[in-house]
Amino acid sequence: MVNPTDDPHIHVEAGMRSGAAARNMLAATFGLVSDLPPEVSTGCGRLVPRAMTSAVPECVTCLPCREHAVAEHLRRADLVASLGPLPGSPIDVSDAVRAAAHHRDLARRFT
């Protein structure tokens, strides 16, 4: 693990899984709460304390992590746009378009 005093940058979690969001959803749905790992892998390949990461583009100061986030959000936007809603899904085309636009906006903010 990187000592926070050796690396003052704020990073992006690799894969941008949003572990905290998934944890909150499980807690709200099933009443189950799991512990989040204290350290996470980042877009630049480091292992840092979770507190040294952010999903907010304006907070991330590590340039390789910002580049990773741009590429990942553009990949997700293309994926959502190409797949669209599944047959029988309550999600319609406009939802898929909004989701793709959201990821493109996040990619723009990370540049």
Question: Are the C-beta atoms of 44 and 64 separated by less than 8 Å?
Answer: yes
For the stretch 1-54, pLDDT in tens is 556 558 899 999 997 766 566 667 677 777 777 777 889 999 999 999 988 999
Q: Is residue 98 within a helix (H) or strand (E), and if so which, with residue range?
A: helix 93-110
The C-alpha angle with vertex 86 and arms to 32 and 57, in degrees rounded to 5, equals: 60
The predicted model scores a pTM of 0.78
The confidence score (pLDDT) of residue 7 equals: 85
CA 91 and chain centroid, separation? 21
Q: What distance in Å separates the CA atoms of residue 83 and residue 47, rounded to the nearest whole number? A: 33
CA 9 and chain centroid, separation? 17
The confidence score (pLDDT) of residue 28 equals: 77
* pLDDT cut 90: percent of the chain above it: 48
The confidence score (pLDDT) of residue 15 equals: 79
